[in-house]
Amino acid sequence: MNQEKTQKTFALLVHACDRYEFLYQGFEYFFNQFWNSDIRCKYYFATEVIDVNIPGFENIKSGKGEWSDRLAYLLREKITEDYVIYMQEDVWLSKPVRKEFFDDLFDFVQEKGHKQIKLHSADIYQTLPTEKFIHGLNVSKVDNARSRYLMSHQLTLWDRMFFLAQLPPKENPWRNERRGTNRLKSIDPEIWHIDYFSQDYSEPINKNQDISERSNFNTVSQNGKLNDEVSHFIELLRKGDETAIAYAKELENHYDNSLTHDGREQPRKIDFVKRIKNWILNK
């Protein structure tokens, strides 16, 4: 007699750094507005050492350290669920996320045991269609050889232990994406893709039956500062309560003055020749 499969468990991890604390309020505001809290997973908001209180999330802490070390510690020591939806604090939702899609996605993963399903559309991926659809969206297979990146830190559903295996010590996020892509290309695992989230309103990349299901997120940060994508969210916050309006003013000030997320002016870059000249003149 066939035994039932052990029921898999799921978590959503928001992996934040303390220097980006300024973004937490915006993440929370738009997550609450667009995410369906009935989606059956555990919610974690991971900081380094600071405390944060976001209703519905458990605040877990990684301690200080390099990006890959901090994330590996969380996946190994703080999170016990089998699968993790990974996202970061500068990813702000801008369209509703439906519970029914994730119910069916989790059931599909329970059945198939896939190790990685990318949930965001981006032209860095090349995909091959399959006969499987979830709410009209094709479950496509990533063509590992033809895709530019295989390791991405945008919205992805990971088998937790497989994710942990992609995090060698002392890699910053940029190196992890570059070297991680090479490592994945060398082992050539099955990686899957669904066009559920458009990223900054990107077009779907798969052969879908129906794209009306799709949600969207915008990445509002680049090089430690707000980028142009934040303008849309500032306008939405201005229509909110007094707290939202005050936060919109703070965001606008940071954006207009090119301030970093910790409120500092961006250091000016001095080219190498000028550095040499200044050094000679001041000897």
Give the global pTM: 0.91
CA separation for the pair 230, 80 (Å, rounded): 34
Query: Residue 130 in 3-state DSSP?
Result: coil
**Per-residue pLDDT, 265:** 66
Query: Residue 218 in 3-state DSSP?
Result: strand
Contact 50, 62 (CB under 8 A): no
**Per-residue pLDDT, 266:** 58
CATH of domain 10-219: 3.90.550
CA separation for the pair 276, 278 (Å, rounded): 5
**Per-residue pLDDT, 264:** 74
**Per-residue pLDDT, 278:** 47
Going from N- to C-terminal start, the domains of the chain cover 10-219
Phi, psi of 210 (to 5 degrees): -155, 125
For residue 198, list its beta bridge partners: 121, 216
User: Of 263, 266, 261, nearest to 230 (Cα)?
Assistant: 261
Going from the first residue of the chain to its last (283 residues), give the mean pLDDT of each consecutive group of 10, the final group possibly shorter.
75 97 98 96 98 97 98 98 98 97 97 96 96 98 97 96 98 96 97 97 96 96 95 97 98 96 64 47 42
Contact 60, 78 (CB under 8 A): yes
Residue-wise pLDDT for 126-158, tens only, equals: 999 999 999 999 999 999 999 999 999 999 999
**Per-residue pLDDT, 81:** 98
